Amino acid sequence: MYLVVGLGNPDVKYLKTMHNMGFMAVDILADKLGVEFNKKAFKGVVAETFIGGEKAILLKPYTYMNLSGDSVIEALNFYKIPLEKMLVIYDDLDIEIGSIRIREKGSAGTHNGMRDIVKKVSSENFARVRVGIKPNNDSRGIIDYVLSDIKKADEKTFKEVLTKAAEAGECFIKGNSLEEIMRKYNGKIC
């Protein structure tokens, strides 16, 4: 069984913001897999499917970003999913727009949602897809920036990048090795 988590904030006002990259990526993945987020569970919404006989759970925590770990730990514990079968997709301020970076493990960095997950699961040893949102000459503070809507000029770039992030999630669910997924998707997408 696999768990793919997309991080974001649930209110409509956050729908197209920089901080909702994870939600947008798992929405694309759900569409690609032909499933819907139609079940409320684990302080979030869930979509379920089977790929190659293996159950796959897609999760969007509705705890708001800073408490994402509450939702994730509930899902992990309920399904008894080992951390090596979990992938988290989220935005990253240190990566250029148009790029994704996939890692097998690592620190949470400055991302509060990831910090909470690392704290609640007591480990940094799980896969992640980081979607670049690094500001280019933006004078706003970090909070204002990450909660701002995607600029019209960047919409096409983000659509392409989020599609690639979703494809990486699908490869993960299909059991492809992280090394293979990293070779294929790490770096500048557009």
Quick: pLDDT tens for 142-177: 888 888 899 999 999 999 999 999 999 999 999 999
**CATH number of the structural domain 2-188:** 3.40.50.1470
State residue 106's pLDDT score. 87
Q: Which residues are catalytic?
A: 19
Please give the average per-residue pLDDT across 13-42, as a whole number.
Answer: 95
The amino acid at 7 = L
Confidence label for 53 from pLDDT (cuts 50, 70 and 90): confident
Cα-Cα end-to-end distance for the chain: 32
Confidence label for 99 from pLDDT (cuts 50, 70 and 90): very high
Is-contact 90 21, C-beta < 8 A? yes
**CB-based contacts of 111, cutoff 8 Å, min separation 6:** 90, 91, 92, 93
Is it the case that residue 43 has pLDDT exceeding 80? yes
Q: How many CB atoms lie within 10 A of CB 1?
A: 15
Report d(CA 10, CA 58) in Å as an integer: 15
State residue 110's pLDDT score. 79
**What are the residue ranges spanned by the domains of the chain?**
2-188
Is-contact 25 166, C-beta < 8 A? yes
Is it the case that residue 190 has pLDDT exceeding 80? no
- In the numeric block, the tokens 């970076």 are attached to 101
- Both tokens of 167, joined, read 């494809």
Is-contact 56 94, C-beta < 8 A? no
The whole-model pTM stands at 0.95
Report d(CA 14, CA 17) in Å as an integer: 5
